[in-house]
Amino acid sequence: MKTPHFIFVGLGILGIGIVSINLVTLASAMDYSYVDNYNQDDYFYQFEGLDNLHHPMEGNLTFRELIAKEKCKSRIHRFACLLKNYNSMLPPRQSGNLVKVYFDIIDVPEIDDNRHTMTIVLELVLQWQEPRLVLDPNRTTAINIDSEGLKRLWIPNVMFDRQHKLAQIGLFQDSKGGAVRDGEMIEFWTYIEVTVYCDMSFEHFPMDEQTCKFALSSLSSPEELMHFEFDVSTSQQNNRLQMYELNIKPFTDPSDLRWEYPAANYSICGFHVKMRRISSTYILIYYVPCTGMVLVSWISFLVDPNIVPGRTALLVTIFLVLTTIFSGIQRDTPRSQGLTALGQYALVCLTFVFLAMLEFATLLFLERFSAHKQKREARKEENSSRWGVPSIQDQAKAEKKAKRTKQWIKDVASTSYWMDQIALALFPIGFAIFNLVHFTQYN
């Protein structure tokens, strides 16, 4: 007699049900809050050969005993487990937690002079001891922790002082990770782009030096609860900003390593970024044209004052060009409480050209006054000749006045010549002294 097919089907369903119930019961006994996607061998590895797993906080209990007594809260890795009393909101100890911080500066993509901000890309690494872990002592290599495991861990709540914005760098997922190294040492790393506000002053622009401070701290944990040790590396630094020379130095001054408040003190770690602007571009764009305009204005001292249109056109054109350059400097360069060094230079160049125009105006006034006096004397002689024959005494007086007028005209011409010659000598000397003082003071 053949057995009906439905009996075999029923037995199969019954077997599958029994296996499923056993698996569910086993998972409940383990009390794991998340499941790793490991294969079957990895799954049973947690029970086979782990009798030597123990934790100092639980005496010499094995890993199996910790599970049986429900001491293990959740796994962060197949070789690491968190105790049931673990709280991710609390640090490992009530005091004396040492957090080692490593900064690896990768790039400096932006320095904004108008907003007074600086942006850097860096790898931030945090290390601390976590005695609330249950580990496999036979595990000789580091235990990597994925993003799900990191969510279950206490991680120092740190932030940068005067932080404007911060973004993690990742193409498809968060660019952060973790590992357990050297026993209970947890290492957390992430790639970030952080922008902070800096104290900038542009009185010496474009020969200025700025300092930006990147200070990392945790205002949620006082110094008694969390203390920082740190190191700064620039092995991968790639400065894409060709307008600056950067010098990165870690904090060494004791005042930079602590924030003191009435309620508590806070440990700080970080580094200074000293920026020295490369001024060669600004010298070519602004300093050279301004200097050239002043030099060209001295040609007016060689032009005859009687050639009024030519000399006037030369000086007025140079003055307008320098005015345009000065306006562009004020518009395009960083804002300062007063004039920047570049703005002062352009203004002084504008002043030199204005003084050349003032000297030419003085010559024109003397020439105009001399011509007016000559016309007035000629008019007097014409009027006196109309009223009869002048006497010998009147003729002598008229001749003396004519001689004085001619001498005045000669003196004016000589004065104009010497004024141009003196200006041609004094202006270069004055401009050279100004350049010496300017570049000595600001460079």
Give the lowest-confidence range in 51-60, 279-288, 385-394.
Answer: 51-60
| pLDDT tens-digit series, residues 253-277 | 999 999 988 889 999 999 999 999 9
What's the confidence (pLDDT) of residue 104? Answer: 93
| pLDDT tens-digit series, residues 36-51 | 333 333 322 333 333 3
**Domain span at 40:** 7-77
Residues 365 and 403 in one domain: yes
Do 116 and 198 form a contact (C-beta atoms < 8 A)? yes
- The whole-angstrom distance between residue 150's C-alpha and the CA centroid of its chain comes to 32
What's the confidence (pLDDT) of residue 27? Answer: 44
Residues 248 and 368 in one domain: no
What's the confidence (pLDDT) of residue 93? Answer: 79
Residues 137 and 227 in one domain: yes
Q: Work out how many domains the chain is built from and give that number.
A: 3
Q: Which of 174-183, 212-221, 291-300 has the highest mean pLDDT?
A: 291-300
Q: What is the mean pLDDT of residues 163-185?
A: 81
Q: What is the mean pLDDT of residues 170-177?
A: 71
- Which residue carries 């007063």 as its tokens? 338
Residues 335 and 365 in one domain: yes
Residues 142 and 38 in one domain: no
| pLDDT tens-digit series, residues 409-435 | 555 567 788 889 899 999 999 999 999
Report percent pLDDT > 70 for the chain. Answer: 70
pLDDT band with cut points at 50, 70 and 90 for residue 214: very high
Residue 213 has pLDDT above 90, yes or no: yes
| pLDDT tens-digit series, residues 330-363 | 998 998 888 999 999 999 999 999 999 999 999 8
pLDDT band with cut points at 50, 70 and 90 for residue 208: very high
CA–CA separation, 358 and 368 (whole Å): 15
- Domain boundary, last residue among 25, 44, 77: 77
Residues 124 and 240 in one domain: yes
Q: What would the two tokens of residue 400 be? A: 């003396």
Residues 132 and 239 in one domain: yes
pLDDT band with cut points at 50, 70 and 90 for residue 224: confident
| pLDDT tens-digit series, residues 49-90 | 333 333 444 445 554 555 444 566 677 777 778 887 888 888
CA–CA separation, 55 and 135 (whole Å): 7
- Which residue carries 């700064």 as its tokens? 232
Positive or negative, the Cα torsion across 11, 13, 19, 22? Answer: negative
Helix axes 341-386, 392-442, angle to 10 degrees: 180
- Domain boundary, last residue among 212, 244, 278: 278
Residue 25 has pLDDT above 80, yes or no: no
Do 322 and 346 form a contact (C-beta atoms < 8 A)? yes
- We report the CATH number of the domain holding residue 138 as 2.70.170.10
Residues 97 and 187 in one domain: yes
Those residues whose C-beta lies under 8 Å from the C-beta of residue 107, and which sit 6 or more positions away, are 120, 121, 237, 238, 239, 240
Residue 133 lies in a domain: yes
Backbone angles phi, psi at 355, to 5 degrees: -65, -35
CA–CA separation, 290 and 167 (whole Å): 43
- Domain boundary, last residue among 77, 100, 131: 77
Residues 292 and 222 in one domain: no
Residue 1 lies in a domain: no
In Å, the largest CA–CA distance within the chain is 176
pLDDT band with cut points at 50, 70 and 90 for residue 306: confident
Q: What is the mean pLDDT of residues 208-221?
A: 93
pLDDT band with cut points at 50, 70 and 90 for residue 193: very high
- Which residue carries 């105790």 as its tokens? 83
- We report the CATH number of the domain holding residue 300 as 1.20.58.390
**DSSP 8-state code for residue 58:** G
CA–CA separation, 85 and 101 (whole Å): 27
Residues 155 and 243 in one domain: yes
CA–CA separation, 371 and 352 (whole Å): 29
Q: What is the mean pLDDT of residues 93-106?
A: 87
Q: Which of 75-84, 189-198, 387-396 has the highest mean pLDDT?
A: 189-198
pLDDT band with cut points at 50, 70 and 90 for residue 205: very high
Those residues whose C-beta lies under 8 Å from the C-beta of residue 43, and which sit 6 or more positions away, are none
Go through 45-80 and write b for each residue having 16 or more CB atoms within 10 A of its CB, e for each that does not.
ebeeeeeebbbeeeeebbbebbbeeebbbbbbbebb
**Closest by Cα among 177, 189, 179 to 143:** 179
Residue 30 has pLDDT above 80, yes or no: no
* Cα dist from 159 to 122, 210, 271, 367, whole Å: 14, 22, 14, 74
CA–CA separation, 98 and 61 (whole Å): 28
Residue 160 has pLDDT above 60, yes or no: yes
Residues 328 and 254 in one domain: no
Strand 226-233 and strand 97-112: the pairing is parallel
- pTM (predicted TM-score): 0.72
**Closest by Cα among 195, 59, 287 to 69:** 59
Residues 397 and 359 in one domain: yes
3-state secondary structure of 266: strand
Do 194 and 119 form a contact (C-beta atoms < 8 A)? yes
More confident: 286 or 185: 286
Residue 228 has pLDDT above 90, yes or no: yes
Give the lowest-confidence range in 16-20, 256-260, 318-322, 430-434.
Answer: 16-20
Residue 2 lies in a domain: no
Query: Mean pLDDT over all residues of the chain?
Result: 79
Give the lowest-confidence range in 134-138, 194-198, 288-292.
Answer: 134-138
